[in-house]
Structure 1
Amino acid sequence: MTNPLPIPPVTLGAINMEAEDPQALAAFWAEVTGGTPAVSGDHVYMPAAHDGGFAMFFQPMTGPRPDRAASHLDLTVPWGSRVATVDRLLDRGATHLWDVLEEYEHVQWTTLADPEGNAFCVAEHPPVAGH
């Protein structure tokens, strides 16, 4: 079946996360993204900090945390800034999990966990010749 209507652009509205402490986790992610959290009761919304960024919404846990995450965030930083970014996030409460530095020529990344154990990656892509 074909769709005769054009597909409108799809953008990322927000990342939604459950948290044991939504305000504390929002504060950590504000350090990651540069966003400014806004508390409303036991929920926290943080709009995107800049064009091309993403918003985040934090809410209280509704059940036990799964043993394994089915997805995680891959964040991209400019080439040459991954190490400094990782060091900054470690200073603010992230935990280092592992690095992938030589397996792929088009990307290097470090996998971290936020203060509640949610894994995320900080990646950098080397410049492409001619671009």
Structure 2
Amino acid sequence: MKIHLTSVFVEDQSRALRFYTDVLGFVKKHDVAVGEDRWLTVVSPEDPDGTELLLEPSGHPAARPYMTALVKDGIPAISFSVDDVRAEFDRLREHGVRFTQEPVEAGTVTTAVLDDTCGNLVQIMQGG
């Protein structure tokens, strides 16, 4: 068994697509209209046939309280692996990304947390 798809609720799918592709560097895999929303997934350009991330509309009544509670408590909704957290932190800051946690080392892991502009905190991590 392996993970094929995971999702993150987003407030605005178009804004999320721009952020996750233009800023974070993922590539669009699927974009299919489903009523007023879209089946919208992105993947890593390093693994285009790998795990897809569904940018899921946050219209479900449980989504908003869930997202708000995570952000309020500083909990990332999702985590991405990077080769060099400090270099990625610098690159993303140059793109205007707001971080809620600058790079922090914890044993063999270095993490940072950013705001995805779509209602979520995202952790980037190196090591482990």
Q: TM-score, normalised by structure 2?
A: 0.69
Out of 20, 25, 47, the residue aligned to residue 11 of structure 2 is 20
Unmatched runs of 5 consecutive residues or more in structure 2: none
Q: CA offsets, 1:23-57, max 9 Å, x none?
A: 21022112424322543222122244333853111
Whichever residue aligns with residue 68 of structure 1, its letter is: A
Higher relative strand content: 2
CA change 1:92–1:24 in 2 (3 A) is farther
CA change 1:12–1:93 in 2 (3 A) is farther
- Alignment pair present for 1:99 and 2:102: yes
Identity %: 18
Q: What residue is the counterpart of 1:29 in the other structure?
A: 20
Unmatched runs of 5 consecutive residues or more in structure 1: 1-8, 127-131
Q: Let me know the Cα RMSD of the aligned residues.
A: 2.7
Which structure has the bigger radius of gyration? 1
How far is the alpha carbon of 1:71 from its aligned partner?
6.0
Q: CA offsets, 1:53-98, max 9 Å, x none?
A: 53111232213612212762222212xx212212333344532101
Say whether the 8 Å CA contact 1:110–1:122 is kept in structure 2. yes
Deviates more, 1:104-113 or 1:59-68: 59-68
How far is the alpha carbon of 1:20 from its aligned partner?
2.2
Higher relative helix content: 2
Q: What residue is the counterpart of 2:64 in the other structure?
A: 65
Q: What residue is the counterpart of 2:82 in the other structure?
A: 77
Whichever residue aligns with residue 15 of structure 2, its letter is: A
